[in-house]
Amino acid sequence: MAPRLEPSKIQLIRDMLSSNEKISHIAKTAKCSRQAVHHIPSNIEHFDNARAPPMRSGRKRLITPSMLQALCDHL
């Protein structure tokens, strides 16, 4: 997986998108892929943030907070 964009690059891309620059020009200026530039407006629309939230994987926790507190008290 590619590394995440730095916050300064994301801010640069957001500013250039708001000034209606072409995606290819933005990608060259920010030194990132066109796909990364293309996903930022979509992420802002869906998540109110330029970065999508992390994807959680695996099973959900089976120990509830109250069970965890009882275990900690027992130890």
**pLDDT tens for each residue of 5-58:** 899 999 999 999 999 999 999 999 999 999 999 999 999 899 988 888 888 888
List all residues 6 or more positions away from 14 whose beta carbon is below 8 Å from its beta carbon. Answer: 40, 44, 50
pLDDT tier at 4, thresholds 50, 70, 90 = confident
Q: Collapse the DSSP code of 62 into the 3-class scheme (helix H, G, I; strand E, B; otherwise coil) and give the result.
A: coil
Retrieve residue 2's tokens.
């590619």
Where residue 43 falls (left for φ over 0; alpha for ψ -120 to 50; beta otherwise) is: alpha
Tell me how many degrees the CA angle 35-26-50 measures, rounded to the nearest 5.
Answer: 60
d(CA 13, CA 31): 10
